[in-house]
């Protein structure tokens, strides 16, 4: 099993290009199931989750052509309504095929999904919404079984904000009969990106990026050529890395408007963020100031940046509180950071962090995608050698992250296992 070894103490300097957003690419690739003909997607990140999605789509009957950061998909041959456990178990986003399969084939059998072990991320909101569109749904033997004669538009209210739930219902509703209104919908930029792609395909979606989305169903969609938006979480990770190491890093091909909460919190730590179009220059402070953080649905501080920011606070001057309101059990990385000398106490959904002068390199184990990134960040600033094990989590969401850090001057390498 691969591991990443970091020798800490190097300030990051230089330029890094941000890859396409995994969380935008996954639903957009799945949306290809809704139209016959070749869809072309550029700026697709080279990630394990992307490869898993393409294998799943291929198994459902789609044709796939792969190039460097380019993918072409033709779902004209879509004929298999079953997403099996073997294809779904590694990735939670596989649930996104449920809506499109119901829309196109009128039936679906989808294994309950896997992915990061960061608490109960219930899919009941997806199922309740699809039932409101007329689907009959059963969950048994580890599978969701759904069928429908004809999806019919309806009003759907989400009890809590759900990104994948909003995406799934949008994709089901675009080919439904009549009007669907999604209330308390998630705001995330990735949802707006999906809606933009679907509208280019001929859908009629209004209000994406707000809490109320209206979808007028259409009879069919056409294929498109689109580029995937930049990954705001990858950009945020490199921003924190620059701040953490007292670096001076220019981040290119990013969307600063998708990172306003992160930029605001970083500025309070003393970090300078200079925005120039699609580029951001991030200059780390001499002394990092402590800042409290509370994760919230977009446009609030993203839960996917919580672990990275905790590393920053672990070497800040003073005391901070990090509150996690999105997912339960998302402090698994804390025990590993403590092994490196971080002073962190967890109580319920909050972590109390007392900054220390330095972290100490140690062997650590990644538990999920963003925890993996946080341990690499900790290794960058720690004294001595840090060995991050189980980095297959990292490969699910970051493209060549060790190579990008090495280019910025970090002493980091991957050791094949």
* Contact between 209 and 185 (Cβ < 8 Å): no
Neighbours of 125 (CB within 10 A): 21
Q: Is 150 a catalytic site residue?
A: no
CA-wise closest residue to 381 among 192, 243, 289: 243
Neighbours of 232 (CB within 10 A): 26
Number of residues that this document lists for the chain: 417
Tokens coding 54? 């393409």
What is residue 53's three-state secondary structure? helix
**359 close to 344: Cβ distance less than 8 angstroms:** no
The single residue of 116, 150, 254, 317 carrying the catalytic annotation is: 116
Task: State how far the Cα of 38 lies from the Cα of 72, in Å rounded to an integer.
Answer: 6
Paired with 17 in beta bridges are: 252
Q: What is the DSSP string of 57-126?
A: HHHTT-EEEEETTEEEEE-TT----EE-HHHHTT-GGGGGGHHHHHHHHSEEEEEPP----SS----HHH
Residues with active-site annotation: 116
């Amino acid at each position: 099993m691969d591991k990443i070894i970091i020798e800490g103490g190097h300030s990051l300097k230089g330029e890094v290009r941000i890859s396409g957003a995994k969380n935008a690419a996954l639903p957009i690739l799945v949306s290809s199931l809704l139209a016959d003909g070749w869809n072309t997607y550029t700026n697709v990140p080279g990630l394990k989750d992307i490869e898993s999605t393409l294998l799943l789509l291929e198994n459902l009957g789609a044709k796939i052509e792969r190039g460097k950061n380019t993918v072409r998909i033709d779902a004209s041959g879509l004929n298999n309504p079953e997403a099996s456990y073997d294809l779904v178990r590694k990735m939670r986003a596989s649930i996104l095929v449920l809506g499109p399969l119901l829309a196109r084939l009128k039936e679906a059998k989808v294994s309950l999904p896997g992915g990061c072990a960061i608490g109960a991320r219930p899919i009941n909101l997806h199922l309740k919404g699809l039932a409101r569109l007329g689907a009959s749904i059963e969950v048994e033997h580890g599978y969701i079984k759904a069928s429908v004669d004809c999806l019919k538009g309806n009003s759907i209210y989400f009890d809590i904000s759900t990104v994948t739930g909003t995406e799934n219902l949008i994709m089901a509703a675009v080919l439904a009969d009549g009007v669907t209104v999604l209330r308390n919908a998630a705001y995330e930029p990735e949802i707006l990106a999906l809606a933009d792609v679907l509208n280019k395909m001929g859908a009629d979606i209004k209000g994406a990026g707000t809490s109320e989305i209206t979808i007028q169903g259409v009879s069919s969609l056409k294929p498109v050529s689109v580029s995937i938006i930049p990954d705001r979480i990858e950009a945020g990770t490199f921003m924190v890395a620059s701040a953490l190491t007292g670096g001076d890093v220019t981040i290119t091909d990013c969307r600063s408007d998708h990172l306003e909460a992160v930029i605001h919190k970083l500025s309070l730590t003393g970090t300078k963020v200079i925005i120039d179009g699609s580029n951001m220059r991030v200059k780390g402070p001499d002394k990092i100031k402590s800042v409290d953080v509370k994760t919230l649905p977009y446009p609030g501080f993203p839960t996917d940046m919580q672990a990275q920011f905790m590393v920053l606070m672990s070497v800040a001057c003073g005391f901070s509180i990090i509150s996690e309101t999105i997912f339960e059990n998302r402090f698994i990385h804390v025990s590993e950071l403590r092994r490196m000398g971080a002073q962190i106490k967890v109580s319920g959904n909050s972590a109390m962090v007392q900054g220390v002068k330095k972290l100490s390199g140690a062997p650590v184990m990644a538990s999920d995608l963003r925890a993996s990134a946080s341990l690499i960040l900790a290794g960058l600033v720690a004294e001595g050698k840090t060995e991050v094990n189980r980095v297959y989590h990292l490969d699910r969401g970051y493209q060549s992250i060790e190579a990008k850090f090495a280019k910025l001057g970090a002493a980091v390498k991957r050791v094949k296992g």
